[in-house]
């Protein structure tokens, strides 16, 4: 059987990303491809996640004494059957389902040796990476006849050209540019295609002055237009509903939300029939996650974004979304109204935050050693340190376009401080003791 495209995914301890990466690959409109995973000695659950959820992926172990990207790619490509070779890092996530077709469309053009796509930061990426990616990967398509810049975190090449000139196996970096330079000298072209984007959390791993970079990053992201609050839609994700003394706590939550006039619809992501019957309200719409969104590796935010795009956006066209979770039962009076009123100009989102009352807080540094960042033997009510924690489950109010892009990780977020007591979260174990 002839395969048009072979996709090489390189991994090394990518348990946090590989599920999403492959999920989006297999969600592409272009279907004529195989996927080969080249794993460099992962010690986490990377391979287990792939084997469990994506059995169609062929896994090859690449465990050299010293890692060279060109050698790893050559090893993977040697196992392929496709006419074209796509290369993507295991921590890169295709942004949409036209990513692959847009790469293939360009590599099929005359005298094109390779195509590389756009790389975008996430809202919570390091400011260094935001700056670098915004600088390097712009919005204009380019045909390069002199510039050999090329990047194998998101690219496609012709296999017949690779067979004639493989990647350099002795360079620790820029094997992609060396390969592109070789073929540009021979009269071939390199294409940069911004409509084939991936999210790349780690970016290009450049570093600099953090204060200066923060300012540059905000300029590069650009100012966003303010949107008037016209139509609010509420999303409540519930994996398993909670009760106190036999009563569903989400009932009181919905009662509170209905007091806000600008809320048009309330969506509950849940598939419990008994809860649907209990609520039985025309203002509440239940949405099942569906088979494709029930994988543990996807995470609540990814599920909510996908459901918003697929089932809420076009039909209800909200200006804003209010995301809230039922376990936070001690919300202050009129909390949601105050949250909405305090969004303010120039911000995309607002979320609750409270001062941490925890004693003796430690972090683990890059060497795996624990370092103490706060120490106190004072009673909790007397603690006054400057460590705060976000309470997104208590309430997160966001512009709909910003949520579609970044979920609840928007960098342009304002904080609404509440007292520590409101951070209490009803757990399933506590829930059982009430019933």
Q: Which of 221, 255, 275 is the last residue of a domain?
A: 221
Query: CATH number, domain at 181?
Result: 3.90.550.10
For 26, 151, 177, 188, 435, the CA distances from 147, given in Å and listed in that order, are 32, 12, 9, 11, 68
**Claim to verify: residue 208 and residue 315 sit in the same structural domain:** no
**Claim to verify: residue 54 and residue 121 sit in the same structural domain:** yes
Q: Which of 165, 190, 221 is the last residue of a domain?
A: 221
Closest CA to 56 of 4, 7, 11: 7
Residue 216 has pLDDT above 60, yes or no: no
Angle formed at CA 355 by CA 349 and CA 358, multiple of 5 degrees? 135
**Claim to verify: residue 289 and residue 354 sit in the same structural domain:** yes
Note the pLDDT of residue 210. 44
Residue 406 has pLDDT above 60, yes or no: yes
Tell whether 88 is covered by a domain.
yes
**Claim to verify: residue 263 and residue 202 sit in the same structural domain:** no
From CA 121, how far away is CA 409, in angstroms rounded? Answer: 12
From CA 395, how far away is CA 327, in angstroms rounded? Answer: 11
**Tokens coding 51:** 């084997």
Whole-prediction pTM value?
0.70
**Claim to verify: residue 247 and residue 182 sit in the same structural domain:** no
Contacts of 362 (CB under 8 A, 6+ apart): 370, 371, 372, 373
Residue 85 has pLDDT above 70, yes or no: yes
Q: Which of 191, 221, 251 is the last residue of a domain?
A: 221
Start-to-end CA distance of the chain, whole Å, equals 59
**Claim to verify: residue 72 and residue 163 sit in the same structural domain:** yes
| 98 and 195 Cβ atoms separated by less than 8 Å | yes
Q: Tell me what the mean pLDDT of segment 185-202 comes to.
A: 93
**Claim to verify: residue 340 and residue 194 sit in the same structural domain:** no
From CA 122, how far away is CA 224, in angstroms rounded? Answer: 16
The domain total for the chain is 2
**Claim to verify: residue 150 and residue 260 sit in the same structural domain:** no
**411 dihedral zone (left: phi>0; alpha: psi -120 to 50; beta):** alpha
**Claim to verify: residue 208 and residue 236 sit in the same structural domain:** no
**Claim to verify: residue 290 and residue 417 sit in the same structural domain:** yes
- For 34-54, the pLDDT digits (tens) are 999 999 989 999 999 999 999
Which residue range forms the structural domain that includes residue 365? 232-434
Buried b (16+ CB within 10 A) or exposed e, 199-211: bbbbbbeeeeeee
Residue 398's Cβ-count burial label (10 Å; 0-12, 13-18, 19+) is buried
| 309 and 292 Cβ atoms separated by less than 8 Å | no
Tell whether 31 is covered by a domain.
yes
**Claim to verify: residue 55 and residue 151 sit in the same structural domain:** yes
**Claim to verify: residue 216 and residue 236 sit in the same structural domain:** no
Tell whether 227 is covered by a domain.
no
- For 265-306, the pLDDT digits (tens) are 999 998 888 888 887 777 788 988 877 787 878 888 888 999
Compute the residue count for the chain.
Answer: 435
Q: Coil, strand, or helix at residue 408?
A: coil
Who has greater pLDDT, 137 or 292?
137
């Amino acid at each position: 059987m002839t395969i048009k495209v072979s996709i090489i995914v390189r991994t090394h301890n990518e348990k946090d990303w590989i599920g999403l990466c492959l999920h989006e690959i297999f969600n592409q409109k272009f279907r004529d491809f195989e996927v080969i995973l080249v794993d460099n000695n992962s010690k986490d659950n990377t391979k287990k996640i792939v084997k469990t959820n994506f059995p169609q992926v062929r896994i090859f172990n690449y465990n050299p004494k010293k890692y060279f990207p060109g050698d790893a790619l050559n090893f993977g490509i040697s196992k392929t059957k496709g006419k074209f070779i796509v290369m993507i890092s295991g921590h890169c996530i295709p942004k949409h389902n036209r990513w692959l077709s847009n790469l293939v469309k360009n590599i099929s053009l005359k005298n094109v040796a390779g195509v590389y796509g756009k790389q975008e930061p996430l809202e919570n990426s390091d400011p260094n990476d935001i700056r670098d990616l915004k600088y390097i990967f712009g919005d204009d398509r380019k045909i390069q006849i002199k510039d050999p810049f090329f990047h194998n975190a998101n690219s496609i090449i012709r296999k017949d050209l690779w067979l004639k000139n493989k990647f350099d196996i002795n360079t620790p970096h820029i094997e992609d540019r060396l390969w592109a330079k070789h073929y540009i000298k021979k009269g071939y072209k390199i294409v940069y295609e911004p409509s084939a984007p991936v999210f790349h959390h780690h970016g290009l791993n450049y570093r600099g002055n953090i204060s200066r970079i923060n300012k540059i990053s905000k300029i590069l992201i650009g100012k966003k237009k303010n949107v008037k609050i016209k139509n609010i839609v509420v999303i409540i994700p519930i994996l398993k509903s909670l009760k106190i003394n036999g009563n569903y706590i989400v009932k009181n939550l919905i009662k509170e939300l209905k007091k806000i006039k600008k809320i048009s619809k309330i969506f509950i992501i849940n598939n419990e029939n008994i809860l649907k019957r209990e609520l039985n309200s025309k203002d509440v719409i239940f949405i099942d996650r569906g088979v494709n969104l029930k994988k543990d590796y996807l995470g609540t935010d990814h599920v909510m974004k996908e459901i918003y795009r697929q089932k809420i956006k076009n039909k209800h066209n909200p200006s804003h979304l209010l995301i809230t979770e039922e376990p936070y039962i001690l919300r202050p009076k009129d909390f949601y109204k105050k949250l909405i009123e305090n969004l303010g100009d120039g911000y995309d989102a607002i979320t609750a935050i409270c001062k941490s009352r925890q004693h003796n807080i430690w972090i683990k540094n890059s060497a795996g050693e624990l370092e103490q960042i706060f120490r106190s033997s004072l009673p909790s009510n007397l603690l006054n340190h400057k460590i705060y924690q976000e309470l997104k489950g208590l309430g997160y109010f966001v512009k709909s376009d910003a949520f579609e892009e970044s979920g609840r990780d928007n960098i342009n977020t304002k904080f609404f401080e509440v007292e520590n007591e409101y951070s209490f979260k009803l757990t399933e174990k506590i829930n059982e003791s009430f019933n």
